[in-house]
Amino acid sequence: MRAGVLLLLTAVSASSAPVERPRNTFAVSTTLSAVRLELPNVQGMSLRLDVLHGTVEVRDAQGELVRGKLAGLEAMPCERAGHRDEVKLQCSTSRIDAVLTEARGKRYLDLRELRGIPSLRAEDGSFEPVQYNPEELGLGSACPGDTFASKGECFMHQGELDRAEGMFLISERNADTRKYALVRRGDIAMMRGDPDQALALYHKAGWEGPWGRIATLRVCDLNGACFGDQHYEAFDTYGLPVPLRRELQMREVWTFAVLRRWSELSMLIGALTEAGGVCGDERVLVCRAATLELLQAKDAAPELALEAYLRLPNRTRGMLAASLSMAAAERAEQVGGNRFAATLLAATVRAAPPGEKAMYLHRTIELYQSFGDDVRARVIAEYARQEFPTGRWELREPKSPEVEEKPAPVVELDVTEAALATAQAVLSRARASEVGGVP
């Protein structure tokens, strides 16, 4: 994983065995509430944590939900969302951390409500810091490295944490690499599940210079102290090297998504698609994941969500393209953009997962017919018959091209007057994409 292409999954799957965790896994400095939930002794258990949706699942080796009583769950802002004791939880906040653990021969689900925000995660749900290219940051040569700092970086991402820490301890003696080494030692503490030790090391790195600013952001992630007026100062990228600037931009997008600050998230994604911003790189999953969450959020204004979506580069292909297009189509329909919604789904149907493609086709046909375009609806239906010969693809009787107006649901929107002023511009851009082109 490179610093410029940090892969973030809003739903991550853990297939590794439960791990032993230190006693301060539930550190008071980073935790609002916590509980250790005993699980049955099932082999091959895996964790699925969807941070942005606030869901937690534990499954067995066959992919079935594990069953357990989960005594003590009432202490958390989470409740059961499955059937018959299934370990499937829905939490009312995104500031949740979960990990499978093992202690004294028993297996547990450790669940925490965080003071800060969940870290960007590896595929097994554990903390995984960004990998740095030593050459890009003046730390030495590429792996295997030719300095203590570069060798430590290489050992760290080979999983040899003890050897990496040894290199960083030596690097602390050098004034040029001291702050970097302290940050990386803090990251290793996080990888070991010791947030208290991590906080101490980040604080020791101070706040001055590029690595002091990275350390300050790490502290913010852990204790949530800068989510108010100090937020903009914490995410200031001025004067930082490119790899660190991109890391801060990704973390800012992630933070707004976790905190569900939709207006600011929409504006941020728009800004970061321009002038070399990280969201202008279609390989960066965090921007697409955050945009998908924005599109699906019931309390976010449709215009703001569509504005962010329309700014994504190559949005009709690549990672999450099908999910994004379906969510954007639903939002467009809410504001009367049925033609845009139909064109969007038609352009991205090939990107739909095999198990969802038939549903995409039905929805596309339905949208075309909603404004009287039976010609395009028939074209899609013919394509659908070729793809799914046993399906039912009859068109309903033609109706007036008037789109039946539906009363809008009453919801509280996270939206400012300035954001609402962009609504007309968003609709104009959407309509301009409807005819003869890809949205």
Q: What is the mean pLDDT of residues 330-351?
A: 92
Top mean pLDDT of 145-159, 268-282, 345-359, 403-417 is at: 145-159
* Domain boundaries, given as residue ranges, for the chain: 11-114, 134-247, 278-432
Q: What is the mean pLDDT of residues 327-334?
A: 95
220-227, long-range: CB < 8 A, 24+ apart: 220/116, 221/116, 221/117, 221/119, 221/251, 221/255, 222/29, 222/30, 222/115, 222/116, 222/195, 222/198, 223/29, 223/30, 223/115, 223/116, 223/199, 224/95, 224/114, 224/115, 224/116, 224/117, 227/255, 227/259
Residues with Cβ within 8 Å of 151's Cβ and at least 6 positions away in sequence, in order, are 140, 144, 145, 167
For the ranges 21-25, 388-392, 399-403, the lowest mean pLDDT is seen at 21-25
Q: What is the mean pLDDT of residues 226-238?
A: 74
Do 134-247 and 278-432 have matching folds?
Answer: yes
Tell which phi-psi region holds residue 87, choosing left (phi > 0), alpha (psi between -120 and 50) or beta: beta
Confidence of residue 391 (pLDDT cuts 50, 70, 90): confident
Inter-residue contact 275 to 281 (CB < 8 Å):
no
* pTM reported for the whole predicted model: 0.80
Confidence of residue 253 (pLDDT cuts 50, 70, 90): very high
**CATH architecture for residues 278-432:** Alpha Horseshoe (1.25)
Question: What digits encode the pLDDT tens for the residues 132-191?
Answer: 999 999 999 999 999 999 999 999 989 999 999 999 999 999 999 999 999 999 999 998
Task: Specify whether domain 134-247 bears CATH 2.60.40.
Answer: no
> Is the model more confident about 113 or about 23?
113
